Amino acid sequence: GEDVEQSLFLSVREGDSSVINCTYTDSSSTYLYWYKQEPGAGLQLLTYIFSNMDMKQDQRLTVLLNKKDKHLSLRIADTQTGDSAIYFCAEFNNAGNMLTFGGGTRLMVKP
């Protein structure tokens, strides 16, 4: 079945850029997503990219998609302490009608 993998943990200093990486196995994914989960809360959609795009920029967020390598990344510029959270990569497959999530990357931002 589909599989989405992420590293567990990332630590950066405030003001630096953060890059969170994700790999997936399903080549028929139509949309790929980044969700953010703050402590004790549900998930919030941060951004998404359609599978025919290579890059999407949204203020401090840049999403890069390499379809050949099935690799998705999220870059957060000028990372702030408020960006500390767990970030989930997810893919949507039309055939399965469901989102498949990675295990999440915990981002810690040090002042």
State whether the Cα torsion 47-19-65-93 is positive or negative. negative
User: Does 98 help bind other proteins (rule: CB under 8 A)?
Assistant: yes
20: β partners: 74
User: Does 15 help bind other proteins (rule: CB under 8 A)?
Assistant: no
Distance between alpha carbon 87 and the CA centroid of its chain, in Å?
Answer: 6
> CB-hemisphere CA count at 13 Å for 20?
34
Residues numbered 20-39 forming contacts with other proteins, rule: CB under 8 A: 31, 33
> What minimum distance in Å lies between the beta carbon of 92 and other proteins?
8
User: Does 43 help bind other proteins (rule: CB under 8 A)?
Assistant: yes
Strands 9-13 and 105-110: what pairing?
parallel
Query: Binding other proteins by CB under 8 A: which of 27, 44, 66, 80?
Result: 44
Binding site for other proteins (CB under 8 A): 1, 4, 8, 31, 33, 40-45, 48, 88, 90, 92, 94, 97-104
